[in-house]
Amino acid sequence: MPDFITEWLNQNDIFTALTIMEYWNGLVTTVHLVFLSLIIGLIVAVPLAILRTVKNPFVSGPIWLYTYLFRGTPLLIQLYIIYYGVAQIPGIQETFWWEIFKEPLYPALLAFTLNTAAYTTEIIRGSILSTPNGEIEAAKAYGMNWFLRMRRIILPSAARRAVQAYSNEVIFMLHASAIASVVTIVDLTGAARNIYSRFYAPFDAFIFVALLYLALTFILVFAFRKLENHLLRHQRPASS
Amino acid sequence: MFDLKGYGPDLAEGAVVTIELAFLSLALAITLGLLGASAKLSGSRTLTAIATTYTTLIRGVPDLVMMLLFYYGGQVAVNALSDYLWETREIDFFFQFDPFISGVVTIGLIFGAYMTETFRGAFLAVDVGQIEAAKAYGFSRWHTFRRVMIPQMMRHALPGIGNNWQVLLKTTALVSIIGLNDMVRVAEVAAKAERMPFHFFIPVAAVYLGLTAGSELFIKWLDKRANVGVVQGN
């Protein structure tokens, strides 16, 4: 190792084992929160996206309203409404829900899930609508009913077209999750804020955490590129 | 009908702060985006490398982390500079790094990176023949840029600018975290004091919704105007 790095490591009193552990715990919280909200959001978004493409306005209308409201307002406000609002629901403090919702983690999880589900619904809806008509006609010609068509033809083909946009949504969610630190969750940003206020060292605390987020982003970009190559391998040019 | 418990004027002022913040950040973002796109397309290896590093770094880091870094780090840097100037030159120089400036700088820098990509694509969409024609007419590089490239690339850039603007508008809410008295912060203070979260956050959410909906219409109108000269298929 170059001398100046060794020297810096010996001299610094910020990056001790204790603070590294704090960052590690923050990393675990961030990954946990983002992963759960993305998974639940995706599970919710697929049926919503399908219903959103239904012609009946009484079915698609409410879902349109939901995605419109959640995509048109800042996530921070959604988080505040849920975090501060849950405690105001009359009688909630006597039920078992209070045990769950008095921890800041669950309101945050709910807000993130609702937000990402709204964006994901629109992404999947877009790719369902852009399914080539010939594929649907072929499925009909084979006598597939609506359900079978959706399951075997439309959704797999839509998923391939949605991956690119969805990878952006995943990265957006990772970055948006930093606001969890505002409602006292010690995620990566929360850990950095604690360390900043303890040592009054903004550069060390925040640049380090920025690098961690950067690394997470690169891992996600790489993983999605692999996935995309895998899903679109039938479209690769024959020569290579 | 809607009793804001005396917080009405503060909320209205906060809304003005939010809008000012959004427009100033947009101006900075568009400037940086044009610079970044020009750097990426300049053909110079150094300039391309600088612009690529800028867009990659910015797009990999959460906006809130950047904002905290600029706000807290900016103050420490100003303090250090102030101490240094006083000790060496006896110059009394100091200013408080306020949340508004940090917000504009951070949001401008972040969306400058996104705008760089938007403008780069839009510049590439301009027909090479147009640039050659400008050269043939003896236009200078700057003249070509201003009279030929900008008007023609705007048509391609508008949808991208519109999307970025919608996201930017919602990002302004984050500046309340570093203590700017925008409408989100006023609402938060009021909601805590009055213990009425829905009462204060829902009107603020409605203002954001109104702003995004209004911008959507405006962008559609601009887009129509920018495309009058283009014959569209079917």
pLDDT in tens, A161-185: 899 899 999 999 999 999 999 988 8
CB-nearest partner of A202 from B61, B73, B172:
B73
Would you call A77 and B184 a contact, using CB atoms and an 8 Å cutoff? yes
Q: How far apart are CA A119 and CA A129, in angstroms?
A: 16
pLDDT in tens, B14-57: 889 999 999 999 999 999 999 999 999 888 899 999 999 999 99
Would you call B62 and A203 a contact, using CB atoms and an 8 Å cutoff? no
- φ, ψ for residue A210, nearest 5 deg: -60, -40
Residues B106-128, mean pLDDT to the nearest whole number: 92
pLDDT higher than 80, residue B230: no
Flag whether B129 is in a domain: yes
Q: Which long-range contacts (CB under 8 A, 24 or more apart) does B21-24 make?
A: B21/B100, B21/B103, B21/B104, B21/B107, B21/B172, B21/B175, B21/B180, B21/B182, B22/B168, B22/B169, B22/B172, B24/B104, B24/B108
CB contacts < 8 A (A, B): 111
Residue B58's domain comprises 26-180
pLDDT in tens, A32-83: 999 999 999 999 999 999 999 988 899 999 999 999 999 999 999 999 999 8
Residues B106-113, mean pLDDT to the nearest whole number: 94
The residues of A whose Cβ lies within 8 A of any Cβ of B are 69, 72-78, 80-81, 84-85, 88, 174-179, 181-182, 189, 192-193, 196, 200, 202-203, 206-207, 209-210, 213-214, 217-218
Q: Does B154 touch chain A (CB under 8 A)?
A: no
Asked if residue A29 lies in contact with residue A187, where contact means CB atoms within 8 angstroms, the answer is yes
Asked if residue A208 lies in contact with residue A23, where contact means CB atoms within 8 angstroms, the answer is yes
Distance from CA of A193 to the nearest CA of B (A): 8
Query: Considering only CB atoms, which chain B residues are within 8 Å of A74?
Result: 170-174, 184, 208
**pLDDT more than 70, % of chain B:** 97
Would you call A210 and B69 a contact, using CB atoms and an 8 Å cutoff? yes
Task: Dump strand ranges (E) for B22-102.
Answer: none
Would you call A210 and B65 a contact, using CB atoms and an 8 Å cutoff? yes
Query: Considering only CB atoms, which chain A residues are within 8 Å of B69?
Result: 202-203, 206-207, 210
Ramachandran region, residue B138 (left: φ > 0; alpha: ψ -120 to 50; beta: rest): left
pLDDT higher than 60, residue A240: no
pLDDT in tens, A129-138: 999 999 999 9
| Mutant choice from B53, B64, B175 vs A, greatest count of A C-beta within 10 A | B64
pLDDT higher than 90, residue A103: no
What pLDDT is recorded for position B1?
46
Interface of B with A in 177-196 (CB under 8 A): 177, 184, 187-188, 191-192, 195-196
pLDDT in tens, B52-79: 999 999 989 999 999 999 999 888 888 8
When pLDDT is cut at 50, 70 and 90, the band that residue B2 belongs to is low
Interface of B with A in 50-69 (CB under 8 A): 57, 59-66, 68-69
Would you call B197 and A196 a contact, using CB atoms and an 8 Å cutoff? no
CATH number of A3-233: 1.10.3720.10
Query: Considering only CB atoms, which chain A residues are within 8 Å of B64?
Result: 178-179, 181, 189
pLDDT higher than 80, residue A239: no
| Mutant choice from A23, A66, A69, A80 vs B, greatest count of B C-beta within 10 A | A80
Task: Write the CB contacts of B4 (distance below 8 Å, at least 6 apart in sequence).
Answer: B11, B190, B199, B200, B203
Q: Is B139 helix (H, G, I), strand (E, B) or coil?
A: coil
Which residue, among B217, B95, B119, B113, has the nearest Cα to B171 in the 3D structure? B113
Pair of tokens at residue B105: 């700088």
Q: How many domains does chain B have?
A: 1
pLDDT in tens, A184-226: 888 999 999 988 888 888 888 899 999 999 999 999 999 999 9
Torsion sign across C-alpha atoms A130, A66, A184, B75: positive
Nearest CA in chain A to B68: A206
Mean pLDDT over the full length of chain B: 88
Residues B215-220, mean pLDDT to the nearest whole number: 92
Q: Would you say how long chain B is, in residues?
A: 234
Asked if residue A28 lies in contact with residue A185, where contact means CB atoms within 8 angstroms, the answer is no
Residues A94-107, mean pLDDT to the nearest whole number: 80
pLDDT higher than 70, residue B232: no
Q: How far apart are CA A222 and CA A220, in angstroms?
A: 5
What pLDDT is recorded for position A104?
83
ipTM: 0.87
Task: Write the CB contacts of B75 (distance below 8 Å, at least 6 apart in sequence).
Answer: A202, B96, B97
Which residue, among B191, B63, B178, has the nearest Cα to A82 in the 3D structure? B191
What pLDDT is recorded for position B233?
57
Flag whether B192 is in a domain: no
When pLDDT is cut at 50, 70 and 90, the band that residue B11 belongs to is confident
Nearest CA in chain B to A172: B62
Query: Considering only CB atoms, which chain A residues are within 8 Å of B212?
Result: 72-73
pLDDT in tens, A11-45: 677 777 788 888 899 999 999 999 999 999 999 99
What pLDDT is recorded for position A201?
84
Would you call B198 and A210 a contact, using CB atoms and an 8 Å cutoff? no
pLDDT in tens, B132-162: 999 999 999 889 888 888 888 888 899 899 9
What pLDDT is recorded for position A120?
95
Domain locations along chain A:
3-233
